[in-house]
């Protein structure tokens, strides 16, 4: 084992790694934003009275949760053009990751919906709010607050999954690290730094989320 560490080669390209980290975060933010809309719709569908809506939501979650993200990403990126839909690689990856996040968020929001006390829903109805108004101004805020911890975990998960964008040549952190790896052969250093960046980002996000949770009292 004759390997001496030379971090210099990695520091020389450190700005590329940071840029990659920013792209990964941006991908995760965009995907979770779209995924939240999908997840909310699907969660309300999963607790609705209509059997059809419950079926659609259930099938969506079952399909997406049991198929590898990489298969989904490749399918959307390589197969959609054949049906005439043209997306660039960023749009296609954000779309796939959003679909994926939506399925996980369905479960998160569903649990949040079930955690809303029945009494406050009835109270909303009793003061004359319509069903829609009750959902928007009573159920949603409580549900969102109660799902905040799981929502944060899902976001961290999606940020880690943004590494899969390297498979379709999006220059995010993993892609940049692999490039430095094959350019310089400073293998140990590259992966230590890349993994360190991911861990630092995850811990920072987790700490920020805990602060956010403390600012709003739990129901």
In the shown chain, the binding pattern of residues 35 to 54 toward another protein, with x for contact by CB under 8 A and - for none, equals: --------------------
Q: Would you give the DSSP letter of residue 5?
A: -
Could you tell me the smallest distance in angstroms from the CB atom of residue 158 to another protein? 11
Distance between CA 168 and CA 203 in Å, rounded? 27
Signed CA dihedral, 89, 92, 95, 100: sign only: negative
Counting Cβ atoms within 10 Å, is residue 91 exposed (0-12), middle (13-18) or buried (19+)? Answer: middle
> 61 with 106: CB under 8 angstroms?
yes
Question: According to CB under 8 A, which residues from 82 to 121 bind another protein?
Answer: 82-83
* Least Cβ distance, residue 178 to another protein (angstroms): 6
- The site map against another protein for 152-191 (x = CB under 8 A) is --------xxxxx-xx------x--xx--x---x-xx--x
- C-beta neighbour count of 60 within 10 angstroms: 20
Strand, coil or helix: 171: coil
Q: How far apart are the first and last CA of the chain?
A: 57
Q: Report the residue from 60, 109, 155, 198 that binds another protein according to the rule CB under 8 A.
A: 198
Per CB under 8 A, does 22 bind another protein? no
Binding range to another protein, per CB under 8 A, among 13-21, 34-42, 70-78, 90-98: 70-78
What does R_g of the chain's alpha carbons equal in angstroms?
Answer: 21
Single out the residue of 8, 55, 68, 141 in contact with another protein (rule: CB under 8 A). Answer: 68
Q: How far is the CB of 193 from another protein (least distance, A)?
A: 11
d(CA 149, CA 154): 9
Answer for which of 12, 18, 22, 63 binds another protein (CB under 8 A) is 63
Where do contacts with another protein occur on this chain (CB under 8 A)? 1-3, 62-63, 65-72, 74-75, 78-79, 82-83, 160-164, 166-167, 174, 177-178, 181, 185, 187-188, 191, 194-195, 198-199, 202-203
């Amino acid at each position: 084992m004759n390997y001496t560490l030379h971090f210099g080669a990695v520091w020389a390209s450190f700005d590329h790694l940071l840029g990659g980290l920013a792209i990964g975060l941006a991908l995760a933010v965009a995907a979770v934003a779209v995924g939240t809309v999908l997840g909310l719709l699907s969660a309300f569908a999963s607790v609705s009275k209509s059997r059809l809506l419950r079926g659609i939501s259930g099938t969506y979650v079952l399909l997406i949760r049991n198929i590898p993200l990489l298969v989904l990403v490749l399918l959307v990126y390589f197969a959609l053009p054949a049906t005439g839909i043209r997306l660039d690689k960023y749009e296609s990856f954000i779309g796939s990751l959003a679909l994926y996040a939506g399925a996980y968020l369905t479960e998160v929001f569903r649990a949040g919906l079930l955690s809303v006390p029945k009494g406050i829903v009835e109270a909303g109805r009793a003061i004359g709010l319509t069903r829609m108004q009750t959902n928007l101004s009573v159920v949603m805020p409580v549900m969102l607050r109660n799902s905040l911890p799981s929502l944060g975990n899902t976001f961290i998960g999606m940020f880690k999954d943004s590494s899969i964008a390297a498979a379709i040549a999006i220059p995010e952190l993993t892609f940049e690290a692999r490039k430095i790896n094959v350019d310089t052969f400073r293998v140990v250093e590259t992966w230590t730094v890349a993994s360190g960046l991911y861990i630092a980002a995850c811990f920072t996000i987790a700490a920020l989320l805990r602060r956010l949770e403390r600012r709003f009292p739990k129901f």
